[in-house]
Each structure stands twice: as C-alpha cells, then as structure tokens.
Structure 1
C-alpha cells in the first residue's frame, strides 16, 4: 500500500480551502455589500433618472383603496379622492395622451380612473364617448386618506403589471417627463 507524503498533502489542502473561501467570497460578497448599502444607505447615488415621486416600499393599488382586477399591463392610474374636478380631468386627459404617445408600445399599458363618488352626467358621457378604453375603479376614501404616500389632491400613478405602485405625479406634472419615465420602465421591464 502506498501512503501519501503528509508534507505534500498539507499545502494542497490549504490551497483547496483558500480556493473554496475565494469562491464563497465572490458569490456572497456582492450580495452582502448590496444588502449593507440598501440597509445603511451608503454609496447610494444622489442623482435620479425619473421625474415623479418614487414609491419604493412595495405598496400595491390596494394600499390606495383601489379594488382592481389583475391585468398584466402597466397602468396610468388617476386617483381622485374628492371627486373628479378640473385637475382630475386634466390628469385623465394626460394619461390617455401618454398612452397614445407610447406608439407601438401602447398595448403594454392602459389608463384608468379611480374615484370615490359618481361623476357628473356630462363628464360621464364625455368619458364614454372620448375615452372608451379608460378603466374605472372604485376608490375607498378611508383607505386612501390613511396612506401617507397619497396626497388629497388628484394624482397620476404608474402601476406595474403586478399592481405595485412605482411612481406618483401631481396634476401640474410635465406630460413629456411622465412619458419618458414610462418609456424607460417599459424598456427595462421584463414583465407586461
């Protein structure tokens, strides 16, 4: 029986352990670094590439009090907790124009209105005539008002295909900036 020389086996074993530790470090190191950066907020860039208010806490439509069916498309959602006034109507128009501005990508997104009270008859007829693809949802005012991310004024939200809130815009937002944000999201998205 041939026995291994213990002086040769020990350096091999040490080198093998070092290689194993390096492999583990290469795999786990970036994950640990990214987790620490997220948790403690260091090395996070101050600049941003979007125009709206980022909703990065995993809230869905339900957090606003919007009960909507699941649809695997991006959505431009207008919320009007105090009725659809002039600002709300402006956002509904803007949402449709943004959807049209997506051109060939328009099929990946839709637009919707969530309101707490019924619309006046004249505006209701106008919506049916001019906005046939506008989805309408009921908005629970008590849930909406309890959400710190949801201002009382009408808002335009970009909602991903899973129903998560992504970005929020006020009534005075620039339509071109919203369109650019949505185009960027559609470009990098693997869903919807």
Structure 2
C-alpha cells in the first residue's frame, strides 16, 4: 500500500467542463453584484433612462444653494417655510405668509419640526407689521439682500415660497400661485424621509 505524501490536487481530477462551469458561475455572481452599480452610475452620468415623472409639486433646487446664496442671513435649526419678497410685502407676499403659517399648523404633531419666516428687501409697512406681531407671533423676520437674491432667484420681482432644510439648504421653490395642499404634501414627505430637524 502506498501513502500519498504530496498535496492533493483536486483540479487534476476535475473535468475541464466543470471548471468552465465554475468560472461562468463566478462571472454571473460578479455581474449580479457589480452590474447594477455600473448601470446606476451610467444612468446618472449619461442621463439615460431617467424617469420624467416626479412626486413633488415645486421646483427642485438641488444644486447646493443655501440661505446665504439667496441673500438671507438666518440660523437654520429646523425645516423652514421661507417667504421671500425682494421689495415690500405686497398682496402676493402676504398671501404666502398666511399660507406658510397654515401649512406649519397643518403639519400637526410635526409642526415643531418646522417654522415659517419672511425675508423682505424693504421693511414692511407699519400696518402690516402690527398685524404680523399680533396674528403671526411665531413668524421669523429677516432682511433680504436684493442683489444676491436677484442673482439666483427666478422671477426676482415676485414673492416666492421656499422650503429650506435644517442645514440651510434650499430644497423646493414655489411661486405665489401655489396651492397650500401641494406644499403641505411635499413638506410632509420631506419630514418623513428626513431624520434631521
């Protein structure tokens, strides 16, 4: 009886057909793992197969602009509904301020995660200021740098509503004709997805 003294080479006994099959399985496993990442990167970089549909109602900002770029120097601690008025707060601006407060209230138990604010390029009139102080005690007011605002804001002469995240990034923009329910749905969706603020 002879005893094997060297290492056992299993590949010698395996037929070439089994080796090819094993390599094919390895390649398929790698394709399943790495393939989706390559496809997703290609879709992002080359912009193909990107869905046209969207689930939000405003204009997505998504380019890294923040409050300072908009011309507002304000602390960002929670989500914010910011009304911007490049001049004084006219009828459209006043309607958006009212809408922002109603949306904030409409958040229900999540109302403490968001606030509402007004940034205007000119001081508001005395009559409207006293109304703000009595009817909108939670409203934050900030000055607006009209030069910086005009550089990035579309429709720079009109009042607009912005959703701002707790880091001060601009997320969504709406014009004065927006429906409150649409903004509320967008903000609820953002709050649901976010664990900040």
Matches within 5 A, 1:68-83: 68-71=74-77, 73-83=78-88
Query: What CA deviation, in whole Å up to 9, does each residue of 1:77-105 have, x standing for no partner?
Result: 00001221111111001000000111111
The answer for the alignment partner of 1:114 in structure 2 is 119
Q: Distance in 1 between matches of 2:155 and 2:72?
A: 12
Shift of 1:29: 3.1
TM-score of the superposed pair, with normalisation by structure 1: 0.87
Deviates more, 1:157-166 or 1:146-155: 146-155
Return 5+ residue gaps in structure 2 as ranges. none
Task: Give the Å deviation of 1:120.
Answer: 1.1
How many residue pairs are counted as aligned between the two chains? 190
Secondary structure of the structure 2 residue equivalent to 1:45: coil
Match of 1:86 in 2: 91
Distance of 1:39 and 1:98 partners within structure 2 = 37
Q: Please give the root-mean-square deviation of Cα atoms over the aligned residues, in Å.
A: 2.4
Match for residue 67 of structure 1? 73
Superposed displacement of residue 22, structure 1: 5.7
Residue 173 of structure 1 corresponds to 178
Unaligned runs of 5+ in 1: none
> Which residue is 1:51 aligned to?
57
